[in-house]
Amino acid sequence: MDINAEERQLVLKTFLIESGERLSEMEEALVEFEASPDNLEILDKIFRSAHTLKGNSLSLEFDEIGKFIHGTENLLQKLRIREVEVTGEIVTLLLQSIDMLRHMIPDGVAGVFVMQPAHLELIRQIESAANGLKSEETSQPQTGGLPQGAEKRRRPWGRRREDIHELIDKTRSIRVGSEKLDRLLNLMGEITLSQGRIKEELKIRNDLKKDSFLQDIYTDTDPLLTELQDQIMKLRMVPVGPSLRHFIRVVRDIAKSHDKLAKLVIEGEEAEIDSTFIEALRDPLTHMIRNAVDHGIESPELRRGGGKNPCGLLTLRVYHDSGSIVIQLQDDGAGLRKKEILQKAVALGLAKESNRLSDQDIYRFIFEPGFSTSEKITDISGRGVGMDVVQKGIDSLRGTIEIRSQEKKGTIFTIRLPLTMAIISGFVVGVGEERYVIPLDSVVECLDLSEARDFGNRVVSSVHRAGSGRKDEKEKGSGFIDLRGKALPYCRLREHFQLGGKAGTRENAVVIQHHDMKAALVVDSIYGEIQAVVKPLGELFKELPGVTGSTILGNGKVGLILEVASLIKNIEVQNHSLLVK
């Protein structure tokens, strides 16, 4: 019945990892607590953590460490019941005890822990802090021995089998270095490429019909590979919580520096997200949160006047929704002031008074680079600082961002991201010898250009475009096509990328969409769908507009992956200038 040495080893390992994480949590929470000493919830959390840590230490027979934590726990309890007032010194003491535990626990696990004078000194200080001014009320003598409660809990190793098995169960999930996963993914990518080549080869030989045997094998492997790919992708998913928690601190700091009160609540910490996203999201989220506190949340007086809780509430929500990840930042602040944004946009020449714009269109102006930097930000509804960074960051993850806002009530930013970013479904198009990949989820439909009536003539001639001759119209790079009675702006990719050469006799238009904007890309040929393994283009081409990355195509050549968002924007701008001339 005894737990064998191997199991104990396993348990110790888990204990080591978990206690490290727990200590970090406690540290974060302590800082948080210092800022809002009225928030007993935080204190409860710290207390619970300390308690669990003590229990675990004792059950693993780390008596002296348990004793040490007990002292800390005792002090926390005194703070909880308001017997001891929280002060900077006390928080410092508690932080110091966390620092010490960071060394004590690994030492204990390694079997080399010895109580040292520094530890005893801290225990003493914590004790006297716990006894504080009201020492006569703390009847329990802290004479160094374990107090009664802890004594009862202390049992010899092996009796608490349930607890130990609980711990062992947790270790069934193993930790794997992310570079191993990257390697796995790269291999998967290479296999996907070979598979693509087999498919192409089968097509070329026209064996798809003739050679049913080969075709059968191919058909069998295809779903298996897709499944394998899915599984590998899932391995890369990590809970989003740990990477978001530090924003709690960020909110506190910013609020403090602006003489405001604000707190951040995170919902859906357990939601899983591609680990590559987490790093990429850091900057955009930081900007959004900073802006929400800076410009969204009003001053405590103003909030009180408006019948709100003086402490502003930010909620960061993460959840999965039909194949994408949704990250939402909600604040209960002042909301965006539509009128002023529009005025500002008009002043900057981004919009016209006469334009009929939806709320979304208006809000979207805050993403324009430098939108609110030219005047005092806080005069207008703000939210301009760095919001173009947010847009760029989200675009680079092939995500979308949407804003909902109500004046005086608050604002909700909703970011949608594809579940993974390492392999995407793509649509291959060709211009001359070049092949481009358009992310499939932004392709709406394809048209034969000769069938779609060219609007260009009418629109262009009605605004007297200089030098627009007939011949010019046919060859021009952009204009409008008639899509079921609606004018759809288009551009020829050949022209846009300055590829040179002449278009073929048949041209195709691929209708692409980003948010609610649509445009058409005119290309020579259409090759169909592929599973594209996204490869970064590297430092040199980092800021190439219209291109987001690359992939290796079935023929072994590099294919560029188009960035739909900026392409559509460019098409709009081009055609807009065409109209206003």
Partner 1 sequence: MEPLDEASPEIQILTFFLSEEEYGVNIKAVKEIIEYATMTKIPASPPFIRGVINLRGSVVPVIDFAKKFGFPESQVTKRTCIVIAEVEHDGRKNLVGVIVDRVNQVMDLLPSEIEPPPTFGTPVQNDYIGGLIKRDKNFILILDFDKVLSLDELKSGFTLVSPVP
Close Cβ partners of 7 (under 8 Å, ≥ 6 residues apart): 164, 168
Burial of 356 (0-12, 13-18, 19+ CB in 10 A): exposed
- Give the separation between CA 388 and CA 424, rounded to whole angstroms: 25
User: By CB under 8 A, is residue 17 in contact with partner 1?
Assistant: no
Which residue from 204, 498, 505, 528 is in contact with partner 1, where contact means CB under 8 A?
498
4 vs 498, which CB is nearer to partner 1?
498
User: Cβ 558 to partner 1, closest distance in Å?
Assistant: 4
252 vs 435, which CB is nearer to partner 1?
435
Ramachandran area for residue 507 (φ above 0: left; ψ -120 to 50: alpha; else beta): beta
User: By CB under 8 A, is residue 569 in contact with partner 1?
Assistant: yes
User: By CB under 8 A, is residue 557 in contact with partner 1?
Assistant: yes
User: Cβ 211 to partner 1, closest distance in Å?
Assistant: 28
Close Cβ partners of 418 (under 8 Å, ≥ 6 residues apart): 323, 324, 325, 397, 398, 399, 424, 441
User: Cβ 234 to partner 1, closest distance in Å?
Assistant: 23
Q: Which residues of 323-351 are buried (b: 16+ CB within 10 A; e: fewer)?
A: eebbbbbbbbbbbbbbeebbebbeeeeeb
The residues with which 488 forms a beta bridge, in sequence order, are: 481
Q: Candidates 30-38, 77-85, 308-316, 546-554: pick the segment binding partner 1 (CB under 8 A).
A: 546-554
User: By CB under 8 A, is residue 496 in contact with partner 1?
Assistant: yes
User: By CB under 8 A, is residue 420 in contact with partner 1?
Assistant: no
Question: Binding residues for partner 1, how many (CB under 8 A)?
Answer: 35
Which residue from 461, 499, 504, 516 is in contact with partner 1, where contact means CB under 8 A?
499
255 vs 568, which CB is nearer to partner 1?
568
323 vs 349, which CB is nearer to partner 1?
349
* Span 423-462, contacts to partner 1 by CB under 8 A: 433-435
User: Cβ 132 to partner 1, closest distance in Å?
Assistant: 52
Length of the chain: 581
Q: Candidates 112-120, 475-483, 512-520, 570-578: pick the segment binding partner 1 (CB under 8 A).
A: 570-578
User: Cβ 190 to partner 1, closest distance in Å?
Assistant: 6
Close Cβ partners of 526 (under 8 Å, ≥ 6 residues apart): 427, 428, 429, 430, 446, 508, 510
CB 277 within 8 A of CB 288: no
Q: Distance of CA 252 to CAs 86, 261, 409, Å?
A: 18, 8, 21
User: By CB under 8 A, is residue 570 in contact with partner 1?
Assistant: yes
User: By CB under 8 A, is residue 538 in contact with partner 1?
Assistant: yes
Q: Candidates 9-17, 143-151, 440-448, 543-551: pick the segment binding partner 1 (CB under 8 A).
A: 543-551
* Span 186-205, contacts to partner 1 by CB under 8 A: 186, 189-190, 193
Close Cβ partners of 349 (under 8 Å, ≥ 6 residues apart): none
User: Cβ 433 to partner 1, closest distance in Å?
Assistant: 8
CA distance from start to end of the chain: 88
Which residue from 59, 411, 550, 575 is in contact with partner 1, where contact means CB under 8 A?
550
User: Cβ 375 to partner 1, closest distance in Å?
Assistant: 19
User: By CB under 8 A, is residue 67 in contact with partner 1?
Assistant: no
Burial of 16 (0-12, 13-18, 19+ CB in 10 A): middle
**Over the Cα atoms of the chain, what is R_g?**
31
Q: Candidates 396-404, 465-473, 477-485, 494-502: pick the segment binding partner 1 (CB under 8 A).
A: 494-502
DSSP assignments along 54-68, one per residue: HHHHHHTT-HHHHHH
471 vs 542, which CB is nearer to partner 1?
542
Instruction: Give the binding site for partner 1 (CB under 8 A).
Output: 186, 189-190, 193, 433-435, 496-499, 535-541, 543-547, 550, 552, 556-560, 566, 569-570, 573-574
